Structure 1
Amino acid sequence: MNDGLFTANNVWMMICTALVFFMHLGFSFLEIGLTRQKNTINILFKNLFIICAGLLLYYIAGFNLMYPGDFNGVLGFAGFGIEAPANGMTAEYAPSGGYTYWTDFLFQGMFAATAATIVSGAVAERIKIGGFMIFTVIYVGLIYPIVGSWQWGGGFLSTLGNEVNAAGELVKEAGFHDFAGSTLVHSVGGWAALVAVYLLGPRIGKFDENGETFAIPGHNIPIATAGVLILWLGWFGFNGGSVLSADPGGTSLVLVTTSLAAAAGGIAAFIFSFILYKNLDLTMFLNGILGGLVGITAGADLMSPNEAIIIGALAGILVVGAVALIDKIKLDDPVGAIAVHLICGVWGTLAVGFLGTKAGGSQILYQLAGIVIIGIFCSLTTFIILFTLKKTVGIRVSREEELEGLDLHEHGMDAYPDFRLNQH
């Protein structure tokens, strides 16, 4: 690889790293916009903690857990900290893309914090900040990189169905496929969010004793809308960077399929919501866009534009149905994180077996196996972590703290001191 191509690839990967970093502002805006103003500081604090702690944890151990080199396909560890190999500043470091070791670490590190950010939105307005921070350290520092190693680190999911000859040479490459993380990032966060919401219970006033559901409106829908647009922009780095090079054909296709799926998800969600509820719900439109983005992430590199639209549209419909189902079973998810990241993450991962260049009966089975294995592992580990915290330090704030707001009780400050309203 010549120096010019190496530099171009490395610059593209650094741009994508910056775009994925920018997504954390999008998540923050979305979460504060869809919740009440009395919890704004709390949500912003959690999101800042996630990205700062996530990067440090990924440096300390996560990167070498996720990419341990030669290992048994289930669990490996290449040591603490990061130190570039002798060829770490040359094209030979990453043959698939040709970029530096340092760029690889930072790009992958930006992904690591996203899983905990998904949980942050689902548990908003009633979780203790201390308990959440402990959970984040364990989940981002340990659970996420272990799951990632099973596929992106060369683990057992990446080799499912592979066939080798007597000489040990690969003659058929199959395996679970998750291009940029519909399951490995979004569902990893979604399964944790589902378990966390169940253990925490709903916010005060969400459901009454008769089982009736009440909407708790967010305080700043314009900010939430800005958050979704920022996330869409960031997804160009999330999916575009997952090509692992500046290859013109690969990156262009991925950006097209990503955008078409997002647009189709938004349109399908607001139309389906209008059919069901006879109103043009902006929040459904927003979550439909995100659902389309999550859905296409597993197979953005394999799909045609038409297939991307199908995946996005079905994701948008699924978001609306999932939000209704989650309310019906009395789970309280203030931002729709479970519907968007878990349900659409599962759909997008399965879609690789039904649509695109890898579609086929065997691929469906590989995709399903990955979903089930990761779902069980993430749900079980999340339950163990949070149930232990619940029985020891506690994970739910008091009734008084919840009614008066976490900003006041957890942080001693107000995001809008000149416009404080009684929002009990």
Structure 2
Amino acid sequence: MDLKLADLSLLADSFFIFLSAVLVIFMQAGFALLEAGSTRMKNAGHIAAKQLLSFSIVAIVFWAVGYGFTFGDGKWIGTTNFFLSTPAEAGSTPIEISFLFQFSFAAVSLAIAWGGFAERAKLSVYILFGALFTIFIYPVIGHWVWGSEGWLHELGKQDFAGSTVVHLTGGVAALIATLMLRPRKGKYNEDGTVNTIPGHNQVYSVLGALIIWLGWFGFNPGSTLTLKDGFFGYVALTTNLGATASVLGAMFMAYLRKQKLEVSIMVNGLLAGLVAITASCAFVEPWAAIIIGFIAGAITVISASFLERRGIDDPIYAFSVHGVAGIWGTISTGIFAAPRLVEKVGVGSAGLLYGGGFHQLGVQTLGVAITILYVALASFVLLSIIKSIVGFRVSEEHEQIGLDISEHGSYAYPEHPNHLEDAKIKETEVSKTPLSEEAIYAKA
């Protein structure tokens, strides 16, 4: 009888992890809508389609080597279980289901990184960097933090579902790409003033954010990896509180700065809260989740505006949403981690507010610093190599006519084939004679 109950429990947990993986995979649809809606019509098809491309690349590369590098034996990098060669132990989740869940996280991290490439990068860059990111960047951070022998894991770094591993990693890679690609044409005037380049469909952006929000209930609660004792419900609660508080925090900061309450501010506020609470969702009390989320929304508004004024053109604010909020979310556990929850999870120690001193805060800060340093350096090196081999940014002419037509040969919205720019956007002229509709199709 006990054996049958154990088998039933394992089956239930395995299905729970599988369902959580499906929810995280569904986040790819959210990223496609969010990013396409937040950028211009002439690039919408390209941006949505590269989600399919990158997802396919991650699936194969992570199966071959990424999973082994992340979860294999070793202090600095995994050296076992490539191609899922080591079967799961009896009584544990099948390795195929574990792989599906962890692969979905790697795919999200890469989707975040793509935000910094938007509207400027060649399609070939997505192929090459997607593979290299899944081999040399994501698995390294993942192993350090989540690997059973990872050095940050042994120090007690708290990152329950990936504020550092998934979001900060993707956000820093996005920032490096943004800096190397330089701003989009027409984003800045000669005197440095900023031109707004609005996304073509705010409804898509909101719908994408809602899909991502739904998928996050696989992301965080699924990271409990079990249905036992119902702790996944607690994680879902803190996740939701952090997200909703962040929307209010973003709105509050926009009000203080006398900004219009743009749809993008609310969307980015929501996502920032989800990012921030991802590290701490299993370690903090509900009231702390609200504080963490509120602060995340507020600082994301400040960060996005600051970077834009400094000449950094991050089209969907990937670094502000995933990088800055990821930093805050990771550090927050060093402040708010409750002893009873730390004991339950079994990682690290109590936070500063509970008399834990500065130890956990120091571990969290170290994890943030080393992640930024490694990912920035690795991204720069890999992108520099790619740039020297195949180039990096599309030509000015292709950027003007849009990546839909230049990279794929057709527009996502064929009824508007000559929709090049919003009438209010000033764009650098790339030829003395404007391209006619016939010329655009001829070049395609």
Normalising by the residue count of structure 1, what TM-score does the alignment of the two structures yield? 0.92
- Report whether the alignment pairs 1:263 with 2:244: yes
Residue in structure 2 matched with residue 343 of structure 1 by the alignment? 324
Shift of 1:83: 3.2
1:55 shift after superposition? 0.8
Counterpart selection for 2:310 from 318, 325, 329: 329
Mapped to 1, the partners of 2:260 and 2:408 lie a distance apart of 38
Q: Distance in 2 between matches of 1:370 and 1:376?
A: 10
**For residue 380 of structure 1, what is the aligned residue in structure 2?**
377
Offset of residue 153 of structure 1: 1.1
1:312 equivalent to 2:314? Answer no
Larger mean Cα displacement after TM superposition, 118-127 or 308-317: 118-127
Contact 2:21 2:218 in 1 (8 A): yes
Specify the SS of the correspondent of 2:382: helix
Within a 5 Å distance, the mapping from 1:95-174 to structure 2 comes to 99-154=93-148, 155-160=150-155
Contact kept? 2:65, 2:135, Cα under 8 Å = yes
Q: Does 1:210 align with 2:191?
A: yes
2:56 matched to 1:52? yes
Runs of 4 or more, structure 1, over 6 Å off, are: none
Instruction: Give the Cα separation in 1 of the matches to 2:14 and 2:217.
Output: 16
Aligned to 1:397: 394
What do residues 364-387 of structure 1 show as CA deviations (whole Å, max 9, x unaligned)?
Answer: 000011111111110000000112
The one-letter amino acid paired with 2:63 is Y
- Cα distance in 2 between the residues matched to 1:7 and 1:422: 53
Q: Distance in 2 between matches of 1:22 and 1:396?
A: 29
Change (3 A) 1:119 1:271: same
Distance 2:198 2:262 in 1: 12
- Cα distance between partner residues in 2 of 1:247 and 1:209: 60
Distance of 1:204 and 1:419 partners within structure 2? 21
| Amino acid aligned to 1:147 | I
Unaligned 5+ runs, structure 1: 94-98, 161-174
Residues 31 and 335, structure 1, Cα contact 8 Å, conserved in 2: yes
> Is the CA contact 2:72–2:80 (under 8 Å) kept in the aligned structure 1?
yes
Q: Secondary structure at the match of 1:392?
A: helix
1-side partners of 2:227 and 2:410: how far apart? 45
| Residue number in structure 1 paired with 2:77 | 75
Q: Is the 8 A contact 2:41 2:419 kept in 1?
A: no
Task: Find the counterpart in structure 2 of residue 250 from structure 1.
Answer: 231
| CA distance in structure 1 between the partners assigned to 2:145 and 2:322 by the alignment | 19
Equivalents in 2 of 1:386, 1:400: separation in Å?
22
TM-superposed deviation, 1:278 = 4.0
Matched, 1:370 2:351: no
CA contact (8 A) 1:54 1:141 kept: no
Give a deviation string over 1:192-245, Cα, whole Å, max 9, x none.
Answer: 111110000000010111010011000011011000000000000000111111
- Give SS of 1:292's match: helix
The answer on whether the counterparts of 2:32 and 2:208 sit within 8 Å (CA) in structure 1 is: yes
Distance 1:408 1:141 in 2: 31
State the Cα deviation string for residues 263-306 of structure 1 (Å, max 9, x = none).
Answer: 00011102211331342211100100000000000010011110
For 1:61 and 1:229, how far apart are their aligned partners in 2? 32
Q: Does 1:25 align with 2:29?
A: yes
- Is the CA contact (8 Å cut-off) linking 1:182 and 1:348 kept in structure 2? yes
Distance (Å, rounded) in 2 between the aligned partners of 1:190 and 1:53: 19
Q: Which whole-Å CA distance do the structure 1 matches of 2:244 and 2:306 have between them?
A: 24
Quote the Cα distance in structure 2 between the aligned partners of 1:203 and 1:117. Answer: 20
Asked if 1 retains the 8 angstrom alpha-carbon contact of 2:163 and 2:275, the reply is: yes
Deviation for aligned residue 1:421 = 4.4
After superposition, where does 1:181-196 map in structure 2 within 5 Å?
181-196=162-177
CA distance in 2, matches of 1:84, 1:184: 24
Of 359, 368, 373 in structure 1, the residue corresponding to residue 351 of structure 2 is 359
Q: Post-superposition shift, 1:40?
A: 1.2
Distance 1:350 1:302 in 2: 12
The answer as to whether partners of 2:70 and 2:147 remain within 8 angstroms in 1 is yes
Q: Distance in 2 between matches of 1:108 and 1:140?
A: 12
1:63-122 per-position Cα deviation (integer Å, ceiling 9, x unaligned): 1111112x2x1123115311352x54x42x3xxxxx222211110011111121112122
Q: 1:165 maps to what in 2? A: none
Q: Does 1:7 align with 2:2?
A: no
Q: Give the equivalent residue in structure 1 for 2:341.
A: none
Deviation at 1:328, TM superposition (A): 1.5
- What is the CA-CA distance between 1:317 and the residue it aligns to? 0.2
Runs of 5+ consecutive residues of structure 2 not aligned to the other structure: 339-349, 353-357, 422-444
How many equivalent pairs are there?
400
Aligned to 1:276: 257
Counterpart AA for 1:345? G
Aligned-partner Cα distance in 2 for 1:79–1:237 = 25
Aligned with 1:419: secondary structure? Answer: coil
8 Å Cα contact 2:84/2:95 also seen in 1: no
Matched residue type, 2:152: L
The equivalent of 1:198 in structure 2 is 179
Counterpart residue number, 1:42: 46
The one-letter amino acid paired with 1:78 is T
- Could you tell me the percent identity over the aligned residues? 37
Could you tell me how far apart the structure 2 residues matched to 1:225 and 1:248 are? 34
Query: What's the offset of the Cα at 1:4?
Result: 2.0
One-letter code aligned to 1:26 = G
CA positional deviation for 1:246: 1.3
CA–CA distance in structure 2, aligned partners of residues 54 and 278 of structure 1: 39
